[in-house]
Amino acid sequence: MAGVTATARIVARRDGRGGTALPVLAGEGPLALRRTRGDADCARVTLVGAMSGPLGGDRFTVRAEVAEGARLRVGSAAATLALPGQGTRDARYRVMLDVAAGAELRWLPEQLISAAGSELYVTTVAEVSPAGRLVLREEQVLGRAGEQPGRLVSRLTVRVGGRCVLDQELDCGPGAPPGWDGPAGLGGYRAVGQLIVVRPEFASAPVPARVLGDTAAVLPLAGPAVLVGAVAPDALRLRTVLDQALADLG
């Protein structure tokens, strides 16, 4: 089976009345986009999975552009479930984000669950202006309850003003390099996540590094950005840690 190829695109711009308009809100196939109730000056979009997936062989791309002065929050209606397809091909999921000066993007999807037998490669690239703001959360759950995980390779790249402040890759599950689940890797935990916060004020007032309990840490990056990395036994406890870290950052 060849799999499904689908693209979704969001463009947010100021509407001239103090709010944010969405001149482009287009999805296809399994990538359906819905505008939902937002704040007075912030548009809100929900990604609704119109079918199961990604399955083996699928190729999905989501692009979001937030123009100068606009504010956008993007979430998803449910967790993304990576499943094996009928063939032997892997699935690919790309997320491309662009945040202009004075703009703000809050990218807060639900968890990605790597089901047994699946093979998914996720690539997320965020380009942020030095005067832009970004909150980006990624959460991966390795396997459904009582099952082993599939293969999951997730790469996250964040550039601020064209300068790379983060480029990291998570590779886990069957076929991953040895040690991914050992003490120097996930340490036996099955939920892993990261929170990236980019704010112009961090350039002059960097966030200090600190640990959060036993399985999470706040790490300042080489730019106006901070990374929170965490592992947890399950998705609920992972979300609790990341939500608390975001609240602490103000």
Q: Computed from CA positions of residues 177, 94, 167, 144, in that sequence, does the dihedral angle turn out positive or negative?
A: negative
User: In DSSP terms, which residues pair with 93 in a beta bridge?
Assistant: 60, 122
pLDDT at 242 over 60: yes
pLDDT at 50 over 80: no
What phi, psi does 241 have (nearest 5°)? -65, -45
> Residues 6 or more apart from 158 whose CB is under 8 A from it?
125, 126, 128, 134, 136, 164, 165, 166, 167, 196, 198, 221, 225
Residue type, 139: E
Calculate the average pLDDT of the chain.
Answer: 93
Average pLDDT on 100-120 reads 96
pLDDT at 185 over 80: yes
pLDDT at 250 over 90: no
| Pairing mode of beta strands 133-142, 191-198 | antiparallel
Place of tokens 């109730």: 37
Place of tokens 């062989």: 57
pLDDT at 35 over 70: yes
> Residues 6 or more apart from 240 whose CB is under 8 A from it?
none
Residue type, 202: F
Q: Computed from CA positions of residues 210, 215, 219, 225, in that sequence, does the dihedral angle turn out positive or negative?
A: negative
Distance CA 56, CA 238 (A): 27
pLDDT of residue 1: 53
| Eight-class DSSP state of 200 | G
User: For 38-42, 91-95, 103-107, 207-211, which range has the lowest pLDDT when averaged over its residues?
Assistant: 38-42
What's the pTM? 0.94
Element (H or E) spanning 125, and its range? strand 119-128
User: In DSSP terms, which residues pair with 8 in a beta bridge?
Assistant: 62
Burial bucket for residue 10 (CB in 10 Å: 0-12, 13-18, 19+): buried
Residue among 121, 157, 118, 129 at smallest CA distance from 70:
129
Please say whether the beta carbons of 46 and 101 come within 8 A: no
